[in-house]
């Protein structure tokens, strides 16, 4: 078959067009394949982001991948040689010294029968740990009345009634503490507590009554909550994040989605704020008076907040810092897609080894700053060079490209921690603070209404601050709740978890002095 020149050129053009379309379809197929693979891992795979050193070595030097820099492999081997987990401590070291001791002596039957025939020469001792289930009891508060003998016309004398924590309620500090810890620490919804109280103790407490009590306590604790806000805001370094929580939205036939915005300051505590939105306006109350370092992920609401005309002056006093855990996570998701992701993961591991060594030394801010300048900055420059060199060699929609562009887009914020010795390398502290709420919402599922979220935010803030500062939340509530009826805005600052702990530490020291 003979073709004219025009027909031949037309066929070449069509062939070129088909080849381009085929290449595009192959790229899209590859992208969709990786996306499906990623979604399957999210649904059924392990959520841990830990990487076995042998797995990382395989990713870096697999048969289908190019040879990897020996320096990178050396870093992986160094991680592989990390020491094993320490052995379990002896029982005596794991039990508190101040636990009550109950002694049980078991005498041999032969000795009991004829004690005069035996002489004690020693004893065998064993320890077991026991617990008594919680018990309900009624406390009768009796106030005797007295008449004065010398003048019976005077009114009777009676001691003033103690103030109730909740007016016209029979709930004691102990009962309220048990309910609050059950819901916000042990993640037991009120309906489950209602069932437990009835089935195990024969006490009939409706969930509605307990719900009213929880709201009343949160309303009274709001004074301390606002003092906690001031403590965190004045710390000069805040980690921020947010987590979604569903809430009942009557009239729509479904639940709405709100957010617990979370702010953490080292040695001060953590504060949750509830909003039925994820808009930048939610940041106003917390950040409108903040100056210092603000560390967060790359969520755009923080930039939007400071870009508003009313907030642009605030921006000068705030040093925005990024989070290496979020940047690492994106390379972790792309680790099987390209050798670059595995190489960057190895580089990031080197950064975290520097941080781990500083923690082991219990380094102060000065040493942390000097070490980061001398050891972490060279690693960061190597990562940046690697990412810039590879920025144009990956499909824009691939996981690797997304990880590269996220890291480069956040780069100036990702290196802020090297200029401040008191900062952390990532936002993991605030993510750990959010974790109890994530466990809790798997049990209680949603907030009862749009307005109910702030009550939970107040209680989570105080109880999670206790956990963060190593305070027994039961001791804290049992001490603070009875003070609420007489507490004022002028005295509430004394009972934030950090101030409460400081006072408890100071009191024994003064007594000894």
Instruction: Flag whether pLDDT at 389 surpasses 50.
Output: yes
Between 467 and 335, the higher pLDDT residue: 467
Query: What's residue 443's pLDDT?
Result: 67
Helix (H), strand (E), coil (C) string for 388-412: HHHCCCCCCCCHHHHHHHHHHHCHH
Show me where the domains of the chain are located.
Answer: 210-322+427-512
In 219-313, beta strands by DSSP E: 237-249, 254-265, 269-275, 292-295
Instruction: Flag whether pLDDT at 53 surpasses 70.
Output: no
What confidence tier does 508 reach under pLDDT thresholds 50, 70, 90?
Answer: low
- Under DSSP, the state recorded for 374 is I
Average pLDDT, the chain: 83
Instruction: Flag whether pLDDT at 359 surpasses 80.
Output: yes
Between 136 and 38, the higher pLDDT residue: 136
Instruction: Flag whether pLDDT at 376 surpasses 50.
Output: yes
Query: What's residue 55's pLDDT?
Result: 52
What confidence tier does 444 reach under pLDDT thresholds 50, 70, 90?
Answer: low
Segment 223-236, tens digit of pLDDT: 999 999 999 999 99
* 379 close to 351: Cβ distance less than 8 angstroms: yes
Instruction: Flag whether pLDDT at 415 surpasses 80.
Output: yes
Between 202 and 46, the higher pLDDT residue: 202
Query: What's residue 78's pLDDT?
Result: 46
What confidence tier does 150 reach under pLDDT thresholds 50, 70, 90?
Answer: confident
CATH architecture of 210-322+427-512: 2-Layer Sandwich (3.30)
The pLDDT of 295-315, averaged and rounded, is 86
Q: CA–CA separation, 61 vs 81, rounded Å?
A: 18
Surface-to-core class of residue 16, CB atoms within 10 Å of its CB (0-12 exposed, 13-18 middle, 19+ buried): exposed
Between 8 and 471, the higher pLDDT residue: 471
% of the chain residues with pLDDT over 90: 35
What confidence tier does 84 reach under pLDDT thresholds 50, 70, 90?
Answer: low
Exposure string for 303-335, b = 16+ CB within 10 A, e = fewer? eebbeeeebeebeeebbbbbbbbbbbbbbbbbb
Query: What's residue 459's pLDDT?
Result: 93
Instruction: Flag whether pLDDT at 9 surpasses 90.
Output: no
């Amino acid at each position: 078959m003979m073709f004219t020149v025009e027909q031949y050129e037309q066929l070449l053009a069509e062939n070129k067009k088909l080849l381009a379309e085929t290449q595009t379809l192959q790229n899209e197929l590859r992208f969709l394949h990786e996306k499906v693979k990623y979604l399957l891992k999210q649904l059924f795979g392990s959520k841990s982001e830990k990487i076995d050193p042998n797995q990382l070595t395989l990713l870096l030097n697999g048969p289908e991948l190019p040879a990897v820099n020996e320096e990178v492999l050396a870093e992986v081997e160094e991680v592989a040689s990390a020491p094993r987990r320490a052995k379990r401590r002896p029982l005596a070291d794991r039990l508190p010294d101040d636990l009550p001791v109950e002694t049980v002596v078991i005498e041999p039957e032969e000795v009991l029968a004829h004690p005069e025939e035996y002489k004690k020469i020693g004893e065998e001792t064993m320890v077991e740990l026991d617990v008594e289930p919680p018990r309900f009891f009624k406390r009768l508060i009796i106030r005797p009345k007295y008449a004065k003998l010398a003048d019976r016309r005077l009114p009777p004398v009676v001691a003033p009634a103690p103030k109730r924590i909740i007016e016209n309620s029979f709930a004691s500090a102990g009962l309220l503490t048990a309910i609050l810890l059950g819901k916000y620490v042990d993640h037991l919804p009120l309906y489950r507590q209602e069932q437990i109280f009835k089935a195990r103790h024969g006490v009939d407490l409706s969930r509605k009554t307990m719900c009213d009590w929880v709201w009343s306590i949160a309303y009274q604790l709001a004074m301390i909550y606002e003092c906690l806000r001031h403590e965190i805001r004045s710390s000069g370094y805040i980690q921020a994040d947010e987590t979604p929580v569903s809430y009942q939205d009557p009239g729509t036939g479904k639940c709405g989605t709100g957010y617990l915005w979370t702010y953490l300051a080292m040695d001060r505590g953590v504060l949750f704020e509830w909003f039925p939105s994820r808009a930048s306006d939610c940041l106003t109350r917390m950040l409108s008076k903040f100056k210092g370092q603000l560390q967060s992920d790359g969520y755009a609401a923080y930039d939007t907040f400071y870009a508003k005309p009313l907030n642009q002056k605030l921006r000068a006093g705030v040093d925005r810092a990024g989070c290496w855990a979020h940047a690492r996570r994106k390379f972790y998701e792309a680790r099987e897609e390209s050798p670059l992701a595995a190489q960057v993961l190895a580089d990031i591991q080197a950064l975290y080894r520097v941080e781990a060594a500083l923690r082991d030394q219990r380094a102060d801010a000065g040493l942390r700053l000097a070490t980061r300048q001398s050891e972490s900055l060279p690693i960061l420059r190597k990562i940046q060079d690697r990412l810039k060199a590879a920025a144009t060699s990956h499909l824009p929609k691939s996981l690797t490209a997304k990880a590269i562009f996220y890291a480069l887009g956040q780069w100036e914020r990702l290196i802020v921690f090297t200029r401040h010795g008191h900062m952390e390398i990532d936002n993991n502290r605030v993510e750990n603070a959010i974790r109890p709420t994530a466990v809790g919402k798997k049990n209680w599922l949603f907030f009862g209404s749009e307005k109910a979220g702030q009550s939970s935010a107040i209680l989570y803030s105080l109880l999670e601050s206790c956990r963060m500062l190593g305070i027994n939340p039961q001791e804290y509530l049992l001490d603070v709740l009875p003070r609420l009826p007489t507490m004022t805005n002028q005295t509430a600052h004394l009972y934030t978890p950090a101030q409460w702990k400081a006072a408890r530490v100071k009191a024994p020291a003064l007594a000894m002095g």
